[in-house]
Amino acid sequence: MGAQRERDGFAGDAFAEDGARARRALVREIEAYGALRDPAWHAAFSDVPRHVFVPSYYVSGTGGYERLWSGDPDPARRSRWLRGAYRDVPLATRVRDGELVTSSSQPSLMAQMLEALDVRDGDDVLEIGAGTGYNAALLSHRLGAEHVTTVDIDEDITESARTHLAVAGYRPAVLTGDGARGCPGRAPFDRIVATCTVPSVPYAWLAQCRPDALVLTPLSTGLLLLRVADEAHAEGRFLATSAYFVALRGGNARFPRARPMGLPRHVFDDDRFQFLRTLTEETLDVREALSLWQRERRPERERFGVTVSGGRQWAWLDDPAGPYAWPLPSG
């Protein structure tokens, strides 16, 4: 189906040929990063045209954000837009009052997340955060659009994602709603993947999962992969990679920005310390977090996990029942 769309030029897409070349280069870059080992995901990233999903985006500069778009009358700027659409970087797609509202995630990170989902043929997947629709297109390519649901609280975002998906030839369910509540009308799901940071795991997600489902969500500055036992119980660890996403609308995810007095610059700038500090900021002050970080020899993300059980959830280091555990806000 992807090859046919490319021959058809994506409904007259003037950038299809140049986009296909740029897409092949992007796939090679993602492969070099160590992702796309699964042939099915390799095919999805090879076939789905990212530029269709980012007809305009913003790049930051000294004077603020600059908009690049496919309809620019300047050929050089149009070429710059197309090249940028296939760089392995996140792209800011909506900015309001100088604040980033939504973006298209870094493709290599998307590939890591999709492979971590470990989907199987016939799985039903719920995506929280529709974004541009690009991730839903990749899922639709792999599983079939009838198995994919994507939800976003912003009607403008879902309308735009639905349009992009249709242009690329995919028609999953694109719904407007509060992602923290999941999508009960399309449940149950075998996989849930969020593309926005949450302060804790929404219990509604677990209630809409089949037993043994997987939930992958950004939390703190990492990616948490949970195995669901039932609607009240789930447990899992963080992936090794760092991840910075826009917060779930209405959520209270925070990333510390100001360096506390007395904290060395090299510690503040350490990505692993920032992860620990954000994960534990409700229960540990900076000095306590630093002491733990040093005592445990700068622990990697994959040593941390989260348990959801009986209406409580907590983060932990190494062992859910061990000495290092911190409550998370109620989901």
Q: β-pairing, 189-194 with 173-176? A: unpaired
Of the residues 60, 70, 79, 105, only one is catalytic, namely 105
First to last CA, the chain: 40
Residue 82 to residue 192: CA distance in whole angstroms: 31
Nearest to 276 by CA among 258, 262, 297: 297
> What's 249's DSSP letter?
T
Radius of gyration of the chain from Cα atoms?
20
Residues 6+ apart with CB under 8 A from 219: 197, 198, 199, 200, 201, 238, 253, 279, 306
CA distances (Å), 41 to each of 24, 139, 180, 191, 296, in order? 14, 9, 27, 16, 37
Can you tell me whether residue 331 is helix, strand or coil? coil
Q: Is 105 a catalytic residue?
A: yes
Query: How far are the Cα atoms of 72, 169, 268, 316, 330 from residue 163, in angstroms, in the given order?
Result: 20, 10, 42, 42, 36
Q: Which residues are catalytic?
A: 105
